[in-house]
Amino acid sequence: MNKMLIKYIRTWIGKKEVQICLVGIIFLPIITYQISFEFNGTKKNIKYHLFKSAIDTLLKQRVDTVSLFTLINDYRTHFEERYIRINIIGRTLINPNLKQEPIPLKVIAKFIKNNFDILDKAERIYGIPKGIIALILWVESRFGSNTGNHHILSVFFSIAAGNDLLQNSNEFRSHFDMLSNKDSLNSDILKRAKSKQDFAFKELKALVEIQSRKILDVTNLFGSYSGAFGIPQFLPSSYLIYGADGNGDGHVDLFNLDDAIFSVANFLKQNGFRKEDANTYFKALFAYNKSSAYVSEILEAYKKLSSGGY
């Protein structure tokens, strides 16, 4: 077994009896990691080579080792360069002035009517207007009809690999199309790669915690290409902090409408939304989605919805 990994365990656990037990438990995953980690130039085996920074960072942050290697070694966890294209490189090409389809206010009003009781309960408990919650759920996932089919672990591991991949492009050039033109990797993209790597590390840490606490089966979690999931499209870290049980079953399932409604309401309340103070709306909504255009769209639609102007 790798001496460095044993050192990690000894340093963090510090108890001989636990130490021996853990080594036995994680022996197989670590061996898999070591064997697959050798870079032989094929896309199949490059997975562990690219995930090295994420693995090392998470180990240093003292995450649950068994859960970490369970997630890494799952057959569904894989590297995809498209997530680097979309989240790091492609982002610089997005036009912020691109117009979206208008929100169908009649559809929103019908949703509120059909789900009035749970929305009203959320409003009474958290103080978030029914219309605001409904609008967010529509914009994020069309009330759950489009939650995404991207493997969440693969999204974040791929994003985390982006910084090393782009910074050390000579090593990987022959294996990835996006590195064929080094001149296209400008300083803004490289800065964004580092920022997104830190972001991915944070979300991967949250995913390991979710797995270790057996809250969700993270290996089977799918969502958007940016790593958000469920009806309200929460990031894993937001799920841990703001997820709320709306149906009283003792479990937070963001693919359940009642839980999604309560979770959105809890998020906004915890980020300063106060129904009686319209000046708090923008900041709280911006915390949900850091896009001024997004917030303006929600607030404009809410104003029309409240006045019946649709």
Q: Answer with the residue of higher pLDDT: 279 or 16.
A: 279
Q: What mean pLDDT comes out for the span 8-32?
A: 39
Q: What is the pLDDT of residue 23?
A: 39
Count helices and strands in the chain by DSSP H and E runs: 16, 2
- Grade residue 94 by pLDDT with cuts at 50, 70 and 90: very low
Which residue, among 301, 258, 275, has the nearest Cα to 139 in the 3D structure? Answer: 301
Q: Answer with the residue of higher pLDDT: 283 or 167.
A: 283
Q: What is the pLDDT of residue 36?
A: 38
- Grade residue 130 by pLDDT with cuts at 50, 70 and 90: very high
Q: Answer with the residue of higher pLDDT: 286 or 165.
A: 286
**DSSP single-letter state for residue 220:** G
pLDDT reading at 86 higher than 50:
yes
Q: What is the pLDDT of residues 37-61, one digit of tens each?
A: 334 445 556 778 889 999 999 999 9
pLDDT reading at 17 higher than 90:
no
Cα–Cα distance for residue pair 244/240, rounded to 1 Å:
9
SS3 225: coil
Q: What is the pLDDT of residue 81?
A: 87
179: Cβ–Cβ under 8 A, 6 or more apart, which residues? 165, 166, 169, 172, 173, 185
Q: What is the pLDDT of residue 261?
A: 99
- Grade residue 68 by pLDDT with cuts at 50, 70 and 90: very high
Q: What is the pLDDT of residue 22?
A: 40
**Domains of the chain with bracketed CATH:** 1-73 (no CATH), 105-148+227-307 (1.10.530)
Q: What mean pLDDT comes out for the span 161-182?
A: 67
- Grade residue 189 by pLDDT with cuts at 50, 70 and 90: confident
- Grade residue 32 by pLDDT with cuts at 50, 70 and 90: very low
pLDDT reading at 9 higher than 50:
no
Q: What is the pLDDT of residue 129?
A: 98
Q: What is the pLDDT of residue 49?
A: 82
CB neighbours of residue 193 within 10 Å: 22
Q: What rounded mean pLDDT belongs to the chain?
A: 84
Q: What is the pLDDT of residues 195-250, one digit of tens each?
A: 999 999 999 999 999 999 999 999 999 999 999 999 999 999 999 999 999 999 99
Please name every residue paired with 229 in a beta bridge, in sequence order, or none if there are none.
234
pLDDT cut 90: percent of the chain above it: 67
Q: What is the pLDDT of residue 29?
A: 43
Specify whether the CB–CB gap between 204 and 54 falls below 8 A.
yes
CB neighbours of residue 95 within 10 Å: 6
Q: What is the pLDDT of residue 186?
A: 74
Q: What mean pLDDT comes out for the span 131-139?
A: 99
CB neighbours of residue 159 within 10 Å: 27
